[in-house]
Amino acid sequence: MPQNWQDHEEPHSRRLGNVGGSEQFTASEDRQWATLAHFGGILGCLPSLLVYLSFKDRGPFTAQESKEALNFTLPPTLAALFLNLLSFIPVVGSFFAVLATLVWVALAVMSVAAGIEVNRGQPFRYRFNLRWIK
């Protein structure tokens, strides 16, 4: 029995899955990270890029879906950034700000729809996707 809190050791738990290791994902973990790659589209292309670079070798479903999510989120993210820069132009800036907001809303809605489908274990293909990353 530990005498104080410093002597106490927690049993090894897998709350976060195999995040730091190099083992292959279980089917559940594979689906979880693939889903997060799509849901991350709400924030732009960075979450799907991080999932793709970090976990593409750990599960085939994660690799496929994070690449699909990255290919889809990259162009709208760049467009929204460009439109936000144009929003600083006097007189017409508010028009570009509204366009940037519409791009973000469309990206968020499509990402959530894809994430729901992937969470069910079904691969998702965006209808309009440039697929720059092969």
Rg for the chain (alpha carbons), in Å?
19
For the entire predicted model, the pTM comes to 0.78
Residue 133 inside a domain? The answer is no
Q: Is the dihedral of CA 108, 116, 39, 125 positive or negative?
A: negative
The pair of structure tokens assigned to 64 is 């496929």
Structural domain count of the chain: 1
pLDDT for 127 equals 86
pLDDT for 5 equals 47
Range of the domain at 64: 26-119
Residue 11 inside a domain? The answer is no
Residue 59 inside a domain? The answer is yes
The whole-angstrom separation of Cα 121 and Cα 35 is 9
* Residue bearing tokens 């732009």: 44
Residue 130 inside a domain? The answer is no
The whole-angstrom separation of Cα 121 and Cα 6 is 42
Residue 5 inside a domain? The answer is no
Query: Residues 76-127: pLDDT tens digits?
Result: 999 999 999 999 999 999 999 999 999 999 999 999 999 999 999 999 898 8
Residue 107 inside a domain? The answer is yes
* Residue bearing tokens 């849901």: 39
pLDDT for 33 equals 94
Query: Residues 3-46: pLDDT tens digits?
Result: 554 554 555 545 555 555 678 888 899 999 999 999 999 999 99
Residue 10 inside a domain? The answer is no
